[in-house]
Amino acid sequence: MKEISISPKISKGELVRRLGARKGERLSRATKVKVEGLIDTLSEFLSPVIHYESRGLARITKSSIELKEGPVFRSPKIAKSLAGCTHVVCFIATIGQGLEHRVREKFEANRLSEAYILDALGSVLVEDLVQQFQEFIAKKCAIQGEYVTLRFSPGYCDWPLEEQRKLFSLFHPSRLKVRLSKSCLMVPRKSVSGIFGIARRDEGQHYSPYNPCTECSAKNCSARRAPCATTYAQ
């Protein structure tokens, strides 16, 4: 099991979306002031880390992928996305418990708007953490003539949340900064787990990753792979 620490960044457009703004809307001046004040304190509460493991692919069927030495992940869309891949990167990422504790303190002090903003900031930060990690791996792969697929997380698309247990089985529990509850939710909450594939790029090949969202009718899905259209008031 490998570990890497990356400093996550805040996408202000994504934050506005997380705060419930509709397309074209901006934050009010009062909310903007609160956001900026809370951002200034974030470094005190963050302890980002990513645990990851690269495993060879033993077999891909129409409905599952099997890693060398196991386990088998069952998802037709993942199987389609990883067609042609030789390896899979499995990861568990978290920004730690500090921000979560801070959110709880705000709720207990009845400072609900600040708690809500902090919670949204945590979601944005952990997603950026994972995005930066995948870009880091993608750059290393590009040097070796390889590319990476889109990433998938248990509980999204057609990958059952219960398969989270299989993913966690790849990591040594005593070294993980994240634990799994009986209901397969992660603790701390601001954590993301998932996988993405690695494949060899043929010379001159144009690669366009398979995106299952283009075949899905759930337009309001929060995990839909589409650009954010909201803006952050300057």
Q: What tens digit of pLDDT does each residue of 205-215 get?
A: 556 666 666 66
Tell me how far apart the alpha carbons of residues 162 and 176 are, in angstroms, rounded to a whole number. Answer: 19
Strands 2-4 and 146-148, sheet pairing? unpaired
Within 10 angstroms of residue 63's Cβ, the number of other Cβ atoms is 14
pLDDT for the residue numbered 36: 94
Is 71 in a helix, a strand, or coil? coil
Q: Which residues contact 140 (CB under 8 A, 6 or more apart)?
A: none
51 secondary structure, DSSP code: E
Assess contact for 129 and 48: CB atoms under 8 A. Answer: yes
- Mean pLDDT, 10 residues at a time, the chain of 234 residues: 94 90 83 94 93 96 95 95 94 97 96 96 97 96 93 93 97 93 96 96 63 65 49 28
Within 10 angstroms of residue 103's Cβ, the number of other Cβ atoms is 22
Residue with tokens 């609160």: 34
152 secondary structure, DSSP code: B
Task: List Cα–Cα distances, 56 to 26, 62, 69, 70, 221, in angstroms.
Answer: 46, 18, 9, 10, 31
Reported as type and span, the H/E element at residue 167 is helix 164-168
- Residue 187: what are its φ and ψ, rounded to 5°? -130, 120
Q: What tens digit of pLDDT does each residue of 76-110 get?
A: 999 999 999 999 999 999 999 999 999 999 999 99
My answer on whether omega of the bond before 209 falls inside 30° of 0, hence cis, is: no
Q: Which residues contact 15 (CB under 8 A, 6 or more apart)?
A: 35, 120, 121, 124, 232
Domains of the chain listed by start with CATH number: 2-215 (3.40.109.40)
Task: List Cα–Cα distances, 90 to 51, 134, 151, 168, in angstroms.
Answer: 8, 11, 10, 9
pLDDT for the residue numbered 208: 62
